[in-house]
Amino acid sequence: MTTLIAGCGDLGFNVAKRLLAHHEPVIGLRRNPPVSNTDSLEGLTWLAADLRDPATLVSLSNIAQHITQVVYCTTPDQRTPEQYRASYLVGLQNLTAALGTDDLGSVPLGRKALFGHYTRRWVFVSSTAVYGASSDEWVDEASPTLPEGFNGKILLEAEQFLIQHHQNSVSMRLSGIYGPGRNLIAQRIKQGLVSAPVEPPHYTNRIHIDDGARAIEHILSLPKPDCVYVVTDQCPLPMHVIYNHIASKLGALPVPQGPKLVGMASKRLSSQRLVDSGFKHLWPDARQGYDELLKT
């Protein structure tokens, strides 16, 4: 079983390490792979390609028959509609054309991707931005997807493309990722540059990057996963609670009270479906995760 990780950045590299630990072949696709072995992993094959440029994906047709799983986890260069569409939707379309589709009626996208009685599995790393605004209620996989921002709209369009063209596919909607190298909020709190509303509280949701990678590995291991999972920790927290917890660990002043946030959804995300599938969080509460992160 060979896994192609398309967009093998921080999260994808974390997934690759876990798959390689089980001696599973992994191909990491990115525009600029590491040039030094010290920056790579033993057993990880790098492929230099740009998902936005079909010409760079031609070589995939030669190895497509060996790729049984795809993890699509790209990141746009900039937070603009053009970059989001290029990275998520156009890139997914180009990769589908290069590897093959499960939709027999979609001739332009290439051959049908079957391995005997097994259909290639695709895992698409999406975002909880597809849910749009909320009023502190609990949100799960059954909640309506009514994104207001361009990011959520484009991600939802990419999810729909995935369902139409790949029978054995899963969209994993991750909340805000934190972890090593992703602690900008801690720096801003230490510098006294943030505030947070208190009444009404503004709920935030997070997932440690290690748990995000472990969740992807877990879904790949399931024989019959659901088609959508919310990937977040088990403890949504009001913004002022998590910010003040971080401030106390840093020895910084308490975060001042701020106005109600405009354009940012306050919702409590549930990962119960993921937990019911057998997944166990290492960091079920972001306060524990930040405690460990701030030790380094």
Tell me whether residue 33 is in a domain.
Answer: yes
User: Which pLDDT belongs to residue 36?
Assistant: 64
Tell me whether residue 126 is in a domain.
Answer: yes
User: Which pLDDT belongs to residue 39?
Assistant: 61
Tell me whether residue 263 is in a domain.
Answer: no
User: Which pLDDT belongs to residue 48?
Assistant: 95
CA distance 17 to 164: 30
CA angle 272/277/283 to nearest 5° reads 60
Tell me whether residue 61 is in a domain.
Answer: yes
User: Which pLDDT belongs to residue 295?
Assistant: 86
Tell me whether residue 38 is in a domain.
Answer: yes
Q: Are 252 and 185 in contact (CB under 8 A)?
A: no
CA distance 32 to 51: 12
Say which CATH number the domain at 10 has: 3.40.50.720
CA 296 to chain CA centroid, nearest Å: 24
| Closest-CA residue to 150 (of 85, 92, 206) | 85
CA distance 222 to 234: 21
Using a cut of 0.75, tell me whether the model's pTM lies above it. yes
Each residue's pLDDT expressed in tens, for the chain with a length of 296 residues:
899 999 999 999 999 999 999 999 999 999 999 876 556 678 899 999 999 999 999 999 889 989 999 999 999 999 999 999 999 999 999 999 999 876 544 434 444 554 444 579 999 999 999 998 777 789 999 999 999 899 999 999 999 999 999 989 999 999 999 999 888 999 999 999 999 999 989 999 999 999 999 999 999 999 999 999 999 999 999 999 999 999 999 999 999 999 988 777 789 999 999 999 999 999 999 999 999 999 86
Tell me whether residue 73 is in a domain.
Answer: yes
Q: Are 197 and 257 in contact (CB under 8 A)?
A: yes
Dump strand ranges (E) for the chain.
2-6, 26-30, 44-48, 67-72, 114-115, 118-119, 121-127, 135-139, 169-174, 176-178, 203-204, 206-208, 228-231, 237-238, 266-269
Element (H, E) at 241: helix 239-250
CA 295 to chain CA centroid, nearest Å: 25
Q: What are phi and psi of 138, to 5 degrees?
A: -75, 140
| Closest-CA residue to 209 (of 5, 2, 12) | 12
Q: Are 140 and 269 in contact (CB under 8 A)?
A: yes
Query: Residue 71 to residues 4, 213, 273: CA-CA distances in angstroms?
Result: 6, 11, 20
Neighbours of 210 (CB within 10 A): 18
CA 102 to chain CA centroid, nearest Å: 23
Number of domains in the chain: 1
Tell me whether residue 239 is in a domain.
Answer: no
Provide the residue range defining the domain that includes 35.
2-179+206-233
| Closest-CA residue to 242 (of 209, 288, 200, 273) | 288
Tell me whether residue 23 is in a domain.
Answer: yes
User: Which pLDDT belongs to residue 62?
Assistant: 87
